[in-house]
Amino acid sequence: MRLSHLFAPTLRDDPSEADVASHRLLLRAGFVRQLASGLYTSLPLGVRSMRRIENIVREEMDASGAQEIRMPNLLPSEPWKATGRWDLYGELLFHVIDRHEREMVLGPTQEEVVAPLVASESLSYRSLPLNLYQVGWKYRDEFRPRFGLLRVRELLMKDAYSFDRDEEGMRSSYDVMLRAYRRMYERLGISYAVVEAEAGQIGGGINHEFMARADVGEDLFVECENADYLADVKAARPRPPDPIEQDDLRPLEVLDTPNTPTIDALAVFLDIAAERTLKTILFDAGGQTVAVLVPGDREVAEEKLEQLLFPTPIRRFEDDDFAERGFAKGYVGPQGMPDDVVVIGDHSVRAGKDWVTGANETDHHVVGANTPRDFRVDRYEDVIEIREGDRCPIDGGALRIGRSIVVAHIYQLGTKYSAPLKATFIDEDGTDQLFQMGCYGVGISRTLAAAAEQFHDDAGLKWPKVMAPFDVVVIVANGDDEEVTSAAHSIYADLVSAGLDAVIDDRDVAAGVKFNDADLIGYPVQVVVGRRGLKLGSVDLKLRATGERSQASLAGAVDAARRLWESAP
């Protein structure tokens, strides 16, 4: 490829709309252009890099026994209503109306396509397990697209779906995918972590996220200072603090605390630390009232509570609920909870005593609330939102919170989709059985952006070689010199023959521009052919990753470039 004819317009200045590094550099280096908020056109360089990622993903999928298919993106709405995701996704789902006034959706993921597809073939248990995947566009009407390619409305994703006879089979298919995904990200060279995660709108049980570390990441994960523990903040379970002896207790005493419906106001009014107070958060769980107790400086992790009470849906009390069920909003305490209220205490509640908490009467709190003397706790669970400094569940070390970009997510789905969609196979005994499903997604475009976040410097991108748009660039340093030009073209041709994906910068611009663009675009290896070197019969080479420069003879240029490329990260 000749750079003089490649559609790769580089920008000298940072585009004004780009804030984060990956966005800025992918625009500047000519990989993408923006069409509208959250929508990008991939230019030739972008297509090349993404295709390389795709191909690694395909190789690992194929090697794992998965089979590539291609599904439509414009989808009928009925299956989405059947699975409940029409409502669950809500505004996130792009809706389309066809000329016959039929409601369609643009697929945000394709369980609703692949499950009916497989179901319609009356498969025998003998043909399982089955794993089908595709690489395609996904549509999500994001609340706020941002950070360039990191959160977009149209994204390139590899999505795979496994179908098994039973749970054991599903788990085994899941493990195969987990291993394939690890190999993918090892090969891609991205610094990543696999964490236990929360299921979100895809749902199901066990699931893992592949997180690429990045300062701009929207997703938080926790990491222990010394043990090998990683988890999504929403799923992380800290080691509970040690319970303390519940003795030497002070008596329960009611205090006048006017206008203190919040912990902050209460702490200020009484001049005490927020952690001395006990919060009682009320939920409705299918008609049942659930009271959750956490120290005043902590928050309830609703996802954890949801999981705890699954499949009963939970909902935090709204204003009306307090009045209807006889609670004093802002002054709720656990004392004298009616028997039909389930009281769940976070483990951390056992590490405190003589609590300051609501008196169940407006403008009043109590001090010296203790269990079981003054209130009961039906069960102790982990229902707290994690915080920096909480203790690691493995070795008790301090947990710290890091930012990351979720680049892949895999799920065990069970029958969550096969049941509502009646996706069955014929079992050994001739009966119809529901598939046990798993689903496995890789954000291709996001992986590219995450890599750009991890691999760049002031001069530009520094791609790992497996996802660089080209392996090597041949820079013609003196375009006016016939000898230089012909030597460069000859080296370029030999590089191509040697199997390297090469590009020659034959543009009629100053050498400095070529050097800067080469650094900006991030070709792993640069070969510079110029008058200065040719006089000595040599060419110069540069490894972008390290900036390390070397020389080679004209005759040895191709071999040297090849070796340098092989040594590149």
Shortest approach of RNA to residue 13 CB, angstroms? 4
Q: Which is nearer to RNA, 198 or 299 (CB)?
A: 299
186 CB-near residues (< 8 Å, 6+ apart): none
CA torsion 525→526→529→532, rounded to 10°? -110
Shortest approach of RNA to residue 453 CB, angstroms? 13
Shortest approach of RNA to residue 27 CB, angstroms? 9
Kindly report each contact of residues 100-105 with a partner whose C-beta sits within 8 Å and lies 24 or more positions away, as own/partner: 102/76, 102/77, 103/77, 104/74, 104/75, 104/76, 104/77, 105/75, 105/77, 105/80
What are the φ and ψ backbone dihedral angles of 174, each rounded to 5 degrees?
Answer: -65, -45
Shortest approach of RNA to residue 330 CB, angstroms? 5
Q: Which is nearer to RNA, 99 or 535 (CB)?
A: 535
Shortest approach of RNA to residue 508 CB, angstroms? 8
126 CB-near residues (< 8 Å, 6+ apart): none
Q: What Rg do the C-alpha atoms of the chain give, in angstroms?
A: 30
Q: Which is nearer to RNA, 129 or 296 (CB)?
A: 296
* Alpha carbon separation from 370 to 261, 348, 352, 356, 567 (Å, rounded): 21, 14, 9, 9, 65
Does residue 387 contact residue 408 with C-beta atoms inside 8 Å?
Answer: no
Question: How is residue 211 written in tokens?
Answer: 């997180």
Shortest approach of RNA to residue 131 CB, angstroms? 35
Measured distance CA(454)–CA(140) in Å, rounded = 25
The residue ranges of DSSP E strands in 27-85, in sequence order, are: 32-36, 39-42, 67-68, 74-76
Q: Which helix (H) or strand (E) holds 360?
A: strand 355-361
* Alpha carbon separation from 363 to 30, 331, 335, 499 (Å, rounded): 62, 7, 16, 79
HSE of 188, CA atoms in CB hemisphere, 13 A: 36
Shortest approach of RNA to residue 568 CB, angstroms? 16
Q: Which is nearer to RNA, 305 or 434 (CB)?
A: 305
Shortest approach of RNA to residue 121 CB, angstroms? 42
Q: Dihedral sign, CA of 86, 130, 203, 50?
A: negative
Shortest approach of RNA to residue 306 CB, angstroms? 13
Q: Which is nearer to RNA, 46 or 204 (CB)?
A: 46
Q: Which is nearer to RNA, 316 or 422 (CB)?
A: 316
Measured distance CA(357)–CA(561) in Å, rounded = 71
Q: Kindly report the CA angle at 509 between 506 and 514, in degrees rounded to 5? A: 70
Backbone angle region of 286, left / alpha / beta, with phi > 0 → left and psi within -120 to 50 → alpha: left
Classified as helix, coil or strand, 10 is coil
Shortest approach of RNA to residue 522 CB, angstroms? 12
Measured distance CA(222)–CA(231) in Å, rounded = 5
Q: Which is nearer to RNA, 329 or 376 (CB)?
A: 329
Shortest approach of RNA to residue 186 CB, angstroms? 30
Does residue 267 contact residue 257 with C-beta atoms inside 8 Å?
Answer: no
Q: Which is nearer to RNA, 327 or 411 (CB)?
A: 327
Q: Which is nearer to RNA, 88 or 419 (CB)?
A: 88
The closest alpha carbon to 357, from 386, 342, 337, belongs to: 337
What are the φ and ψ backbone dihedral angles of 305, each rounded to 5 degrees?
Answer: -65, -40
Shortest approach of RNA to residue 366 CB, angstroms? 13
Shortest approach of RNA to residue 295 CB, angstroms? 11
Shortest approach of RNA to residue 302 CB, angstroms? 8
Measured distance CA(144)–CA(303) in Å, rounded = 22
Q: Which is nearer to RNA, 54 or 381 (CB)?
A: 381
Q: Which is nearer to RNA, 130 or 564 (CB)?
A: 564
Q: What is the number of residues in the chain?
A: 569
End-to-end CA distance of the chain: 23
Residues engaged in binding RNA (CB under 7 A): 10-17, 19-20, 34, 36-38, 143-147, 261-264, 266, 279-283, 296, 299-300, 316-317, 322, 327, 329-330, 332, 358, 459, 477-480, 509-513, 515-520, 528-534, 539-540, 542
Measured distance CA(544)–CA(528) in Å, rounded = 13
HSE of 113, CA atoms in CB hemisphere, 13 A: 20
Q: Which is nearer to RNA, 96 or 323 (CB)?
A: 323
Q: Which is nearer to RNA, 184 or 518 (CB)?
A: 518
Q: Which is nearer to RNA, 357 or 424 (CB)?
A: 357
Measured distance CA(142)–CA(154) in Å, rounded = 9
